[in-house]
Amino acid sequence: MLDKGMDKEEIFKETGMTVGVQDANFSVRTGEIFVVMGLSGSGKSTLVRMLNRLIEITSGAVFVNGRNVADLNQKELTELRRTQMSMVFQSFALMPHLSVIDNAAFGLALAKVEKTKQQERAMEALEQVGLGAWADSFPHELSGGMQQRVGLARALAVDPQIMLMDEAFSALDPLIRTEMQDQLLSLQEKHKRTIVFISHDLDEAMRIGDRIAIMEGGRIVQVGTPDEILQNPANDYVQAFFRGVDPTSILVAGDIARETQITVIKFPGKGPRAALQRLISHDREFGYVLDKSKRFLGVVSTDSLKEMITNNTKIDDFSDAFLENVTPVNADDSMQDILDEVVTRPWPVPVLNEEKQYVGVISKNIFLRTLQQNTTN
Amino acid sequence: MSWYTFEERVIPLDDWIQFGVDWLVENHRDFFQFIKYPVEQSVDGISWLLIFMNPWLIILTFAVLTWKFAGRITTFFTIFTFILIGLLGLWEDTMTTLSMVLVSVLFCAIVGIPLGIASGRRDRFDTFLRPILDTMQTTPAFVYLIPVVMLFSIGTVSGVIATIVFAMPPIVRLTNLGIRQVHPELVEAGEAFGATPLQVLIRVQIPQAWPSIMAGLNQTIMMALSMVVIAALIGAGGLGTPVFQGLNNLNIGLATIGGLGIVLLAMVLDRITQGMGK
Give the model's pLDDT for residue A269: 58
Residue B32 lies in a domain: yes
Residue A1 scores a pLDDT above 60:
no
Cβ distance of A54 and B188 shorter than 8 Å: yes
| B14 close contact with A: CB closer than 8 A | no
**pLDDT value, residue A376:** 46
- Give the number of other CB atoms < 10 A from CB of residue B84: 14
Residues of B in contact with A91 (CB under 8 A): 183, 185
User: Does some domain include residue B5?
Assistant: no
Whether residue B1 is contained in a domain is answered as: no
The torsion defined by the Cα of B207, B212, B214 and B220, in degrees rounded to 10, comes to -140
Within a domain: B159 = yes
| Residue B2 belongs to a domain | no
CA B151, chain centre distance (Å): 20
The answer to which of A5-9, B216-220, B273-277 has the lowest mean pLDDT is A5-9
- What per-residue confidence (pLDDT) applies to A267? 58
Residue of B nearest to A151 (CA): B189
The answer, for B194 touching chain A at a CB cutoff of 8 Å, is yes
Q: Does B203 touch chain A (CB under 8 A)?
A: yes
Whether A353 shows a pLDDT value over 80: the answer reads yes
**B210 interfaces chain A, CB cutoff of 8 Å:** yes
How far apart CA A155 and CA B203 sit, in angstroms, is 17
**How many Å apart are CA A43 and CA A46, to the nearest integer?**
5
3-state secondary structure of A210: coil
- Residue A37 φ then ψ, to 5°: -120, 145
Give the CATH number for residue B77. Answer: 1.10.3720.10
Q: Does position B229 have pLDDT exceeding 70, yes or no?
A: yes
Which domains, from first to last, does chain A contain?
8-247 (3.40.50.300), 254-376 (3.10.580.10)
| Least Cα separation, residue A109 to chain B (angstroms) | 9
For A58, list phi and psi in degrees, rounded to 5.
Answer: -85, -30
pTM for this predicted structure: 0.72
Domain count, chain B: 1
Q: Residue B91: which domain range?
A: 12-276
Q: Mean pLDDT across chain B, nearest whole number?
A: 91
Q: Is residue B117 part of a domain?
A: yes
Asked whether residue A14 carries a pLDDT value surpassing 70, the answer given is no
pLDDT for residue B175:
96
Is A81 in CB contact (< 8 Å) with chain B?
yes
Q: Are A179 and A7 in contact (CB under 8 A)?
A: no
